[in-house]
Amino acid sequence: MYEELFKKAETSEEAMTRLAAIVKVLRSPEGCPWDKAQTHQTLTRGMIEEAYEVVQAIEDGDMENLREELGDVLLQVLMHSEIADEEGLFSLREVAEDESEKMLRRHPHVFAAKLENQGENSCMSVDNVLDLWENIKSVEKSSRTVNQAMEDIPRSLPALLRAEKVQKKAAKVGFDWPDVSGAFDKTDEEISELKEAFSKQQGRERLAEELGDLLFAVVNVSRFLDIDPEDALNAASRKFMDRFAYVEKAAAAAGRRLEDMSLAEMDVLWDQAKENNL
């Protein structure tokens, strides 16, 4: 029985079948204790971590690692599908079929044209396609309210990304500033409210609320400027780390420990890092 699992696949279809069969064995009574114990809930963290590792591999330009990480994400999909199949909910075939139907439905500019022997619609721009997708999705989910659409945004998304998606849902029905000036003014207002809450010692809960409002307002600014807030914050973190590395190395070169230096002394080195375009 297991001999077939050790045979290398020659096609993509065979490779998928082989991996799915391996997962089924791991979940079987004779399988692995850890794999058998997994549920949709216990696998949640792994799915998130694997997705982030895929993104990291892409950002690093590490194609070998990307290949490995995509395999790990695929394993997550197969595990969830196998668990659902065991529970009589749905199968891997249904997962793939549902996605195929969705892709056909959401790409009429490609597949409808093929069926009509018209070839690809080369007149459509990327923006046209995005508008088409949104129209099709709105028809598919026409019975939902805007708030329900917001509630469907995964809570496990990075907070900045989720805030941006929430704001875009509201903007589609006109609940938005006319231009970025309103977003800037709102940010200034939230900074003032945070400072006031702090000066009046209104407590940690109130401070957290005001800080959240400020971050939400900043995301609004980034949306108007068409800047990904996740990318911007990651770039700021990278810049801070590079400058701090300079400060640490410069201090070590002078025979000093950061712990023994004053903030003013470290600021001098920090300014040097900025002058060196770090």
Among 214, 217, 209, CA closest to 191: 214
Q: What is the pLDDT of residue 1?
A: 65
Residue carrying the six token digits 């590490």: 62
The pLDDT tens digits for 177-194 are: 999 999 999 999 999 999
Domain boundary among 93, 122, 146: 93
pTM: 0.64
Cα 74 to Cα 12: distance, rounded to the nearest angstrom: 13
Q: What is the pLDDT of residue 126?
A: 60
Q: Above 70 in pLDDT, residue 90?
A: yes
Please compute the mean of the pLDDT values over residues 35-55 and round it to a whole number: 93
Q: Above 70 in pLDDT, residue 169?
A: yes
Q: Above 80 in pLDDT, residue 224?
A: yes
Task: Give yes or no for a contact between 186 and 222, defined as CB atoms under 8 angstroms apart.
Answer: no
Q: What is the pLDDT of residue 129?
A: 59
Domains of the chain: total: 2
Q: Above 60 in pLDDT, residue 122?
A: no
Q: Which two tokens stand for residue 195?
A: 């400072």
Residue carrying the six token digits 């599908």: 81
Q: Above 70 in pLDDT, residue 141?
A: no
121 domain residue, yes or no: no
265 domain residue, yes or no: yes
Please compute the mean of the pLDDT values over residues 161-170 and round it to a whole number: 93
159 domain residue, yes or no: no
81 domain residue, yes or no: yes
74 domain residue, yes or no: yes
Q: What is the 3-state secondary structure (H, E, C) of 95-135?
A: HHHHHHHHHHHHCHHHHHHHHCCCCCCCCCCHHHHHHHHHH
Average pLDDT, the chain: 89
Q: Above 80 in pLDDT, residue 208?
A: yes
Task: Give yes or no for a contact between 160 and 230, defined as CB atoms under 8 angstroms apart.
Answer: yes
- Total residues belonging to the chain: 278
What percentage of the chain carries pLDDT values higher than 90?
A: 71
Q: What is the pLDDT of residue 110?
A: 78
Q: Above 90 in pLDDT, residue 210?
A: yes
Q: What is the pLDDT of residue 123?
A: 57
27 domain residue, yes or no: yes
Q: What kind and span of H or E run contains 270?
A: helix 263-275
Q: Above 60 in pLDDT, residue 143?
A: no
Give the CATH number, domain containing residue 89: 1.10.287.1080
83 domain residue, yes or no: yes
Q: Phi first, then psi: what are they for 129, rounded to 5°?
A: -65, -45
Fill in the DSSP letter of residue 175: -
Please compute the mean of the pLDDT values over residues 227-233 and round it to a whole number: 92
Domain boundary among 59, 93, 127: 93
Please compute the mean of the pLDDT values over residues 13-31 and round it to a whole number: 94
Residues 6+ away with beta carbon under 8 Å from 70: 54
Q: Above 70 in pLDDT, residue 135?
A: no
Q: Is 119 exposed, middle or buried (0-12, 13-18, 19+ CB in 10 A)?
A: exposed
Among 245, 248, 255, CA closest to 278: 245
Domain boundary among 41, 63, 93: 93
52 domain residue, yes or no: yes
Among 80, 77, 103, 84, CA closest to 16: 77
Q: What kind and span of H or E run contains 255?
A: none
Q: Above 90 in pLDDT, residue 109?
A: no
Conformation bin of residue 225: beta by default, left when phi > 0, alpha when psi is -120 to 50: alpha
User: Please, which contacts does 40-45 make with residues 24 or more away whose CB atoms are closer than 8 Å?
Assistant: 40/80, 40/83, 40/84, 43/76, 43/79, 43/80, 43/83, 44/156
Cα 258 to Cα 266: distance, rounded to the nearest angstrom: 8
Q: What is the pLDDT of residue 185?
A: 97
Cα 274 to Cα 278: distance, rounded to the nearest angstrom: 5
Task: Show the domain range for 70.
Answer: 2-93
